[in-house]
Structure 1
């Protein structure tokens, strides 16, 4: 039996810094010190980690900085079993995101991202990363809208499409990029992508006032076959060429939701890959297979919500998720 072709995940590695009280601030009422607990993150990197931990052959294509945060990200990726051999070394610094969690564990971010490594792609770097067989190219988030690399990535998606499934997760970051930029590019993304995954927060930015079904119909009309909208504790809405389904979310004691959407995408892609659905235009995908894939996605997302930060489960850990 020939090994499965890899899923290539393209995008940023971001250092997620979580505010934490320092020892001084816990003991000294006059102290204004604030500590930061830094964990490797970034939407595409999170998806790659979750995919590899589930057992899919995974290659990550990201511009990894040589600084301390870049080394942290590289160690996490490699330690999860990801092929990082085609990540170009970057002299620019890593992107830093300072996360602020609300009472429900949902994170807001302040980004420090000017002239950082993640966005400085060249065509040569990108083409090296997708040489050889691949089943799917998944990308999105900031790498798809931040110059100068964004235009090169969009062109790469068109070039790869004849030989691989294309998956896009816009992952709108309104504090850093005006949502109008995402809306302006969305029609072209739908023409290129086979899979479009958005969160409920993304939906509010990309199609203000639209229901998941109405948005899916509009995006289908532009060309994308599979639209998936993750709805947090309300589960998932999915539309395959207009055929709808809803999948409930497992009950979960939420620590935080950091990386939950990325983990869902990994579960979805892993299940589709295992079923032999990736590699083309989702030929043969049925509502039943889609329901299985979305069900795995919500389980992986739930397991990620149950721990701190974007720390998706290994395949063996899923037995603990109802």
Structure 2
């Protein structure tokens, strides 16, 4: 599938780790749970922060820009049906817990994103609703989350049994947390074309609705379409098409409510499809459009790439490949 390389740039960084050793508790293990966070406002930005990079990236970005919200990428299976950061790092890792607590003390918060294009997605590794639910609950309780993101793409998106299992597990958790007086917002991050979601994504969302899962927002990956195009216009065209598609699923919502169900996530700079370049001017176009429509969330792939490369035009997992100042996309999309 055309998006299956979206996060493949980082696979090599994780591949050399010995999973069993990293998953083992250490003498400096973190507390059982991170401190509670303040949650999220009605509209916010939350760039994807790579969990194979240093947790200090959160504080560095906050200190440089004032950015307060981040999406932790990614929680995937490590050593079977076992939720880990990046397949090799325990969820209660002391460095990540400390970084999250510091961010929350400054008024920020985090979303944990499950899935991505690399590694084994938990809905595939955990083959029953009960085991999958237990892994989601472990992450939510350990990190004291109020919001989770499910980044479902590639062949995983076509696995209808896993989609149903995932939606059932999340719906049960959502109900149980509500009974206990806790909030759990669930969002889906899905591939898109400028003409909107493909049918497999629509099927997933219809399944979520049929399982009584409340989907707070649908975040579209406005990237890697194939041919070169104006990436700012492609992002806003996709958002407009999504608005109509969401209205055909959630038929009782107003137009304003449908816009508020949207998220938008470009890949900044040079995309995996290298003819596509999402520029700082494209970011301004998207930010203005999102403000005018009341879109709930803006994000981008990825925080570690939000700086210029030595040479423009190159695809890299550590810089954008387009002309920019450090953290320019973070500032623009805030």
TM-score normalised according to structure 2 size? 0.40
Structure with a larger share of its residues in strand: 1
